[in-house]
Amino acid sequence: MDKKKTTLITVISILSIFALIILGGLVYYTQISPGENAAYAKEAALKAAAAIMAERQSSMFEKTEPAASPVAEQAEATVETAAGEETLSSEEIRTAEDTAVSSGAPVPAETAAPAEEPASTETPASTEAPAPTETPASAETQSSAGMPSPTPTPFDVKVQLQRSRNDGSFWEGCPVRDIELLTPNEYSRPQTALETVNNLVIHYVGNAGSSAMDNRNYFESLKDSRERSASSHFVIGLDGEIVQCIPLSEMAYATKERNKDTISIECCHPGADGQFNEYTYWSLVELSAWLCRQFQLDPQQILRHYDVTGKLCPLYYVEHPDAWQELKDAIERRLGEIQGADPA
């Protein structure tokens, strides 16, 4: 019986030492801040351990299961919440072990001093604010700092005329659907290069009720009849169809001395008064606005044949100047819509 009691006392002593280590860590972690006297923490731990030992010894001699100690529970809770943190130094743990060995009790493997965790290899985040990223200076900023600002490419009519021959993108948005170029000949398509574009000139065909193709074919026939020289870059029909007869890069025979720097548009009309119907009218507005955009012309640069040579052409719009102004205003509005839709 004495041997059993001695063994039980020894086990309780070992457990008490283990509780001492844990509780010492609890006291150190929760009550002792760096810089305070460490002896205070050890003394408090020893007192707590002694209380646990006395309580367990009393329970042993009474042959009853020991009740859970609030101090022990607090120590265990500290172990759970402070997992991974060293509560006592390695030297203090070894001292506690030596004390237990000197009392004749074996030290369980669980009480061995835990290996110290290696220092983290992560570099602490710097508290300094990162240096701001430099934003490249805009063209305006560079110019103000002495850097040359980019020079916009100047508009070149000759480039546009050349593009009309070999660059399909030039014709994007163009309302022309029928390209029926005349056969090269000296009476209607001399293939003389158009060097610049200063104006658009509007004509009427003078042959009421005729179609765009009728008039195109008449121009084509002049290569054989040779009765006169006449042609136009475009002819707009009664259904609003637009037929191209002469490339924009070439001169047409339509406005005498101004053939060299103008683009001409002939318009069909249903009656002898020469007024355009709504289909012809709005196709003319669309085509004129597109040409103004392509050659950077102001709608005020759109002329009647009459304004160049004095011929009563287009008849209705010579006799009704208000209607002519309304037509130019409609072209100007349409030009504004086209330019507004262009990419910046």
Q: Can you tell me the distance from the alpha carbon of 301 to that of 200, in angstroms, rounded to the nearest whole number? A: 7
Of residues 61 and 339, more confidence is placed in 339
DSSP string, 42-75: HHHHHHHHHHHHHHHHHHHHTTSPPPPPHHHHHH
Give the pLDDT score at 7: 77
Q: What are phi and psi of 335, to 5 degrees?
A: -60, -40
Q: Can you tell me the distance from the alpha carbon of 166 to that of 291, in angstroms, rounded to the nearest whole number? A: 17
Give the pLDDT score at 22: 79
Mean pLDDT (whole number) for 109-129: 43
Mean pLDDT (whole number) for 204-227: 97
Q: Can you tell me the distance from the alpha carbon of 73 to that of 92, in angstroms, rounded to the nearest whole number? A: 22
pLDDT tens-place string over residues 273-329: 999 999 999 999 999 999 999 999 999 999 999 999 999 999 999 999 999 999 999
Give the pLDDT score at 233: 97
Mean pLDDT (whole number) for 106-121: 42
Give the pLDDT score at 21: 80
Give the pLDDT score at 180: 96
- Please return the burial class of 116, using the count of CB atoms within 10 Å of its CB with bins 0-12, 13-18 and 19+: exposed
| 82 Cβ contact partners less than 8 Å away, ≥ 6 residues apart | 25, 26, 29
pLDDT band at 62, cuts 50/70/90?
A: very low
Q: Can you tell me the distance from the alpha carbon of 316 to that of 324, in angstroms, rounded to the nearest whole number? A: 9
CB atoms < 10 A from the CB of 88, how many?
25
pLDDT tens-place string over residues 151-192: 445 668 888 888 887 788 888 888 887 899 999 999 999 999
Give the pLDDT score at 59: 46
Mean pLDDT (whole number) for 114-127: 43
Q: Report DSSP state, residue 273.
A: T
Give the pLDDT score at 182: 98
Q: Report DSSP state, residue 29.
A: H
Which pair of structure tokens corresponds to residue 130? 């990162």
pLDDT band at 199, cuts 50/70/90?
A: very high
Of residues 333 and 124, more confidence is placed in 333
- The whole-chain average pLDDT of the chain stands at 75
Which pair of structure tokens corresponds to residue 248? 């924009």
pLDDT band at 127, cuts 50/70/90?
A: very low
SS3 at position 287: helix
8 Å CB contact between 88 and 111: no
Residue 53: how many CA atoms within 13 Å on its side-chain side? Answer: 18
Give the pLDDT score at 36: 52
Prior bond to 190 cis, omega within 30?
Answer: no
Question: Does the pLDDT of residue 31 top 80, yes or no?
Answer: no
Q: What is the CATH topology of the domain spanning 157-341?
A: Lysozyme-like (3.40.80)
Give the pLDDT score at 158: 83
DSSP string, 199-266: EEEEEE-SSTT--HHHHHHHHHHHHHH-S-----SEEE-TTS-EEE-S-TTB--SSSGGGGGGEEEEE
Question: Does the pLDDT of residue 270 top 60, yes or no?
Answer: yes
**Segment among 9-18, 42-51, 204-213, 233-242 with least mean pLDDT:** 42-51
Question: Structural domain boundaries of the chain?
Answer: 2-111, 157-341
Q: Can you tell me the distance from the alpha carbon of 185 to that of 34, in angstroms, rounded to the nearest whole number? A: 107
| 229 Cβ contact partners less than 8 Å away, ≥ 6 residues apart | 186, 187, 188, 222, 253
